[in-house]
Each structure stands twice: as structure tokens, then as C-alpha cells.
A and B are shown apart, each in its own frame.
Chain A
Amino acid sequence: IAGITQAPTSQILAAGRRMTLRCTQDMRHNAMYWYRQDLGLGLRLIHYSNTAGTTGKGEVPDGYSVSRANTDDFPLTLASAVPSQTSVYFCASSGDGTDYNEQFFGPGTRLTVL
């Protein structure tokens, strides 16, 4: 692994189904983030984690949950998907969430909820 990876690349999901988007980084970054990107809108922060074992809510957390059991992994779960969650999801990481640090992005997951 080099950098930050996400899986799956894309997914079509029926409304009401549960879905986990996976994110793994090998840069030993402390901070990790989940964003959604919708046409005409900026990246919006869903949840973040400044270090393993801690998580926080971003701008649009409703309907999503995260966990940070270790440094490398930061999965995002949609407990019961709804069509408004159709979006492109980006995971990102940075060295230290408490100071300036460039954020590195994964390739994204394109999710369609029908």
C-alpha cells in the first residue's frame, strides 16, 4: 500500500441497506477525515479522528458513524442508506489534526443509493 486507499471504488445500494466504506492509510498519520462531495457544493466533513481511539462529528454527521480502532483504518458506516446519501466519499489523512498539515486524499468511493 502506498498512501491512502479506499474500498469499494463504487457501489450501488438499495435504500435501507447498511454499508461500510473502508479507508486505510500507511503513512502513520494521526488524523483522518471523511468528506462527501456533491456537485456544486464544497467538500463537507462528515466525521474526523485526530488520533486512534477518538472521533468527532463534522458538518454533516447524521446517518453516518465511524470508528478508529487503530492508526491505519477509519471505516465509515451508513446504518440505513437513504437516496440523499448518494455522493462521492473521500477519505483523507494528515500528520496532526491539531496543527497545520496538508491533507492527503484517497481515490474516493462513488456511492449511489436507490
Chain B
Amino acid sequence: GQNIDQPTEMTATEGAIVQINCTYQTSGFNGLFWYQQHAGEAPTFLSYNVLDGLEEKGRFSSFLSRSKGYSYLLLKELQMKDSASYLCASIDSNYQLIWGAGTKLIIKP
């Protein structure tokens, strides 16, 4: 079957670094997305990985290991506005997205 696993909730301190992990089992894997979703709002795109390795974009970085079925999102210099849910989604052989349930990130001062 197809499955995405990510932690339900994480807590971190303002100014710190946090890593949100995602594991997937996806047939015909074609890449992986990370989206951010603030409470009551729509998801917005953060990153896309299709090759192994790290993609860095400002304070946010995303890593992919295809052989391990594993990705993580790294957030540096955390700000209060980073409090949100972070959604991991893999792309299957039909180019449909398989979504994880999301990780709610709570930032404390």
C-alpha cells in the first residue's frame, strides 16, 4: 500500500532549529513535497525534492533519501510565525499526491 508517516506534533523554542521527519511508501515514487499550513488557512508550497540530497531555501531546507523512503524538513532560526502544520506529500506513479496527516509545530518563546 501507499503510506506517509510523520509525527503528529512537535514543540520547539524561538531561535532554535527543528527537524520534521517523514517516511513514505509510495509506488512509482516521483518526488516529495513539503507544504506549510497555518491554522484555518490553505496549504502553501515550501519545497520539492526528487533527487537524493539537501535542498536549501533560506531558513528552510528539505532532504530526501529515496533508498530509505525518508525525508526531513529542517527549519532554522525559528520564529513565532513558523507555528503551523507541516505537510509531507509524495508523488505516486500517476502523479497524484499522497498526503501525510501533517505535523503541528508549536513554537514557544
A residues touching B (Cβ–Cβ < 8 Å)?
35, 40-45, 48, 58, 90, 97-100, 102-108
- Beta-carbon contact of A98 and B95 below 8 Å: yes
Q: Which 9 A-B pairs have the closest CB atoms?
A: A42-B99, A105-B42, A43-B99, A42-B101, A102-B45, A42-B100, A105-B43, A107-B42, A100-B31
Beyond A42-B102, A100-B31, A100-B48, is A107–B95 a contact (Cβ under 8 Å)?
A: no
Give the nearest-CB partner of B91 in chain A.
A100
B4 within 8 A of A: yes
Number of interface residues of B (CB under 8 A): 23
In angstroms, Cα B41 to Cα A90, docked, is: 10
B residues touching A (Cβ–Cβ < 8 Å)?
4, 8, 30-31, 33, 41-45, 48, 50, 87, 89, 91, 95-102
CB neighbours of A58 from chain B (8 A): 96
- Beta-carbon contact of B95 and A99 below 8 Å: yes
Give the nearest-CB partner of A3 in chain B.
B42
Minimal beta-carbon separation of B23 from chain A (angstroms): 14
CB neighbours of B31 from chain A (8 A): 100
In angstroms, Cα B50 to Cα A71, docked, is: 28
- Beta-carbon contact of B48 and A45 below 8 Å: no
Give the nearest-CB partner of A48 in chain B.
B96
- Beta-carbon contact of B33 and A102 below 8 Å: yes
The residue in B30, B91, B97, B102 that gathers the most chain A C-beta atoms within 10 A of its C-beta is B97
In angstroms, Cα B18 to Cα A101, docked, is: 27
CB neighbours of A102 from chain B (8 A): 33, 45, 48
